[in-house]
Structure 1
Amino acid sequence: MDPCTIRLSSQFPLLPAISLRRVSTHTSLPSVSHLRHFQRKRFNLEAGGGVRAQKFDEAAFEAERLSLDAAARESMAESSKRDEAEDDPKAWKWVIRKRIWDLLEARNFAQNPRPVHHRIPNFVGAAAAAQKLAELDVFRAARCVKVNPDSPQKQVRFLTLTGGKKLLTPQPRLRTGFFSVLDSSTLTPSTINEACTSVGVAKHGRPIGLDEKIEVDLIVIGSVAVDPTTGARLGKGEGFAELEYGMLRYMGAINDSTPVVTSIHDCQLVDDIPVEKLLIHDVPVDIICTPTQVFFTNTAIPKPQGIYWEKLSPEKLGQIRILRELKRRIEQETGQTLPCGPSEKLPPTAQRRR
């Protein structure tokens, strides 16, 4: 374990160790000020002091989301080329990712949004895989389920809400802040389906902060490739699943025993992820659901304990508001300055509408 992590944990034992080996060093994150308007400022004060509902602009929110998503995927594509050209230690991950993305497209196992490259790929049979996931004992017993916001897990989000559970989901790339909670008891049958989309989360979800007292019983995570024999997993390369995992550890919402499940197509199963090359931030999975099979990996790969600040560049930190808040809080509570990673040049963000 990193000495900085040991020092902070020992001097402030109530704080879980916060660690991050890598958040993608080249992927651009937009600032959050514009989109936060849609999620957090749906009400404004009238002159008389009352509260008046402000109409949620769904079209503007979705247009902005798609624009930023395209910019982020373009940055990831540049990052993968750069890593391969420079013989970066992470280049082997991009080789496996590209193989799976190409395979999904070539065999027409891919569903919209397409192409699936640089995404958590939506796949034919995603609903069937979600149904297998919903039949798991750990899902049936869960009261609160954290589910990634990607397209192939939309049916998982739907089954979570229709099953009377709380749904915890992050805003895509944490761009509007942090997580939102959706409670099925506050939704109607006509709004549950909408609540499973990015627009619906912003419209119907309740944003939470780091002080939220919440217990997550199950984590559903998107994947590009997974090894069913070891539980080793590759995401799309941005590192946000790991970042979200680390912050939930800080909040005390999860621990090592919290099951991590993924739903993928059968062709996303691989046997060539070298466990010895995984970094400490990589999140392994306990259960894999495909349209045809369920795998219990009994993974021996340690789960991340949090965020490794010495790997996080000041530029990256400057782009993620919730991370700055977490860093400030830990430094205030411990009386110590957290380490900072080396400076990096980040790609330009998408142009913002004003």
Structure 2
Amino acid sequence: MTSSGTDQAKQAVRERVWALLERERVAPPGVYGRIPTFFGAEATADRLAELPMWQAAQVIKSVPDKAQLPIRVRALVEGRLVYMAVPKLAEELPFYLLDPATLTVPPTEAASSKVAATVARKIGVDNMRPVDLIVCGSVAVNRHGVRLGKGAGYSDIEVALLQEAGLIGPETTIVTTVHSLQVVDDELPETKHDFSVDLIVTPNEVIECGPQRRPQGLYWDSLSQEKIDAIPILVAMKSCL
């Protein structure tokens, strides 16, 4: 399948899932173009918190989306370190550091992406600790762990940056939390820079996926010059190649 064909196939699944979530009223209106917020996100966070990999994790990297807000709150309340990406990785220091030991506002506030932008310290990968657990959002995911984000590709770049920096490895669990209607039977198309998830957690079940598939790092030939120019850390890294 050509690159444009893959993009079209992915977008068709996204459109179908966004429409399904709204039609079944399991998500608030306005999910199109987004990582969907879904009803049952708190129960999903509770189910994730029962798992051994959560209980063992001290450092968590999470997406900033609203669907994963209950997870970020729980992590901070339980004393875990949380990293979140700066929107669109558009700063020279591309991650926020939320350290429960130094928060100046309650965890319920700090875990919000808008509040984190005002109270969290920005940090580069050189000063980050190894990550035990990655929590990502998805528009759709299948039981083999192939996921679709909203199409911008930032989650893939974030994981690749952590991989390049040696901050994640095979022992790092990648989990996505979604509504059960976002779990699809499709054979979703993958590209070499896509990562798979190890676990899918919904309000009702935990799905183990496999085998693990992750990029070895950044694939520069998969990044447009426009995307590179918009992300300062990529500009700096490419200048050193």
- Name the TM-score class by shorter chain: over 0.9
How far apart are the structure 2 equivalents of 1:122 and 1:91?
23
Q: Which amino acid aligns with 1:293?
A: E
How far apart are the structure 1 equivalents of 2:237 and 2:116?
23
Match of 1:318 among 229, 233, 238: 229
| Gap regions ≥5 residues in structure 2 | none
Structure 1 residue 150 and structure 2 residue 61: aligned? no
Match of 2:196 among 284, 294, 313: 284
Report deviation, 1:326: 1.9
Structure 1 residue 256 and structure 2 residue 170: aligned? yes
Equivalence for 1:207: 122
Q: Which amino acid aligns with 1:102?
A: A
Cα deviations by residue, 1:297-330 (Å, 9 ceiling, x for unpaired):
2x1252111111122222221111121112223x
- After TM superposition, the structure 1 = structure 2 runs for residues 63-78 of structure 1, keeping only pairs within 5 Å, are none
The structure-2 alpha-carbon separation of the partners of 1:217 and 1:301, relative to structure 1 and needing over 3 Å to count, comes to closer
Equivalence for 1:72: none
The structure richer in strand per residue is 2
Contact 2:91-2:232 at 8 Å conserved across structures: no
Cα deviations by residue, 1:133-172 (Å, 9 ceiling, x for unpaired):
1111101110100000001000010011001100011122
Equivalence for 1:191: 106
Cα deviations by residue, 1:91-122 (Å, 9 ceiling, x for unpaired):
111111111100111111113xx410110000
Report deviation, 1:213: 4.2
What is the percent sequence identity of the aligned residues?
Answer: 40
Equivalence for 1:179: 95
- After TM superposition, the structure 1 = structure 2 runs for residues 218-297 of structure 1, keeping only pairs within 5 Å, are 218-228=133-143, 230-274=144-188, 277-297=189-209
Moved over 3 A (4+): none
Cα deviations by residue, 1:160-191 (Å, 9 ceiling, x for unpaired):
10011000111222133411111111125x52
Report deviation, 1:257: 2.5
Contact 1:212-1:251 at 8 Å conserved across structures: no
How far apart are the structure 2 equivalents of 1:214 and 1:305?
19
Contact 2:17-2:182 at 8 Å conserved across structures: yes
How far apart are the structure 2 equivalents of 1:289 and 1:327?
36
Contact 2:139-2:148 at 8 Å conserved across structures: yes
Equivalence for 1:52: none
How far apart are the structure 2 equivalents of 1:96 and 1:156?
26
SS of 1:186 mapped into structure 2 = coil
Match of 1:102 among 3, 16, 19: 19
Q: How high is the TM-score relative to the length of structure 1?
A: 0.65
SS of 1:300 mapped into structure 2 = coil
| Gap regions ≥5 residues in structure 1 | 1-24, 26-82, 332-354
How far apart are the structure 2 equivalents of 1:301 and 1:193?
33
Bigger radius of gyration: 1
The structure-2 alpha-carbon separation of the partners of 1:170 and 1:213, relative to structure 1 and needing over 3 Å to count, comes to closer
How far apart are the structure 2 equivalents of 1:294 and 1:210?
31
Contact 1:144-1:215 at 8 Å conserved across structures: yes
Contact 1:225-1:269 at 8 Å conserved across structures: yes
Report deviation, 1:89: 2.9
Give RMSD over aligned pairs.
1.6
Higher relative contact order, structure no. (Cα contacts within 8 Å, ≥ 6 residues apart): 1
- After TM superposition, the structure 1 = structure 2 runs for residues 112-123 of structure 1, keeping only pairs within 5 Å, are 114-123=29-38
How far apart are the structure 2 equivalents of 1:320 and 1:258?
25
Cα deviations by residue, 1:272-310 (Å, 9 ceiling, x for unpaired):
134xx311111111111111111112x125211111112
SS of 2:122 mapped into structure 1 = strand
Contact 1:232-1:301 at 8 Å conserved across structures: no
Question: May I ask how many residue pairs the two structures share in their alignment?
Answer: 238
Cα deviations by residue, 1:1-26 (Å, 9 ceiling, x for unpaired):
xxxxxxxxxxxxxxxxxxxxxxxx9x
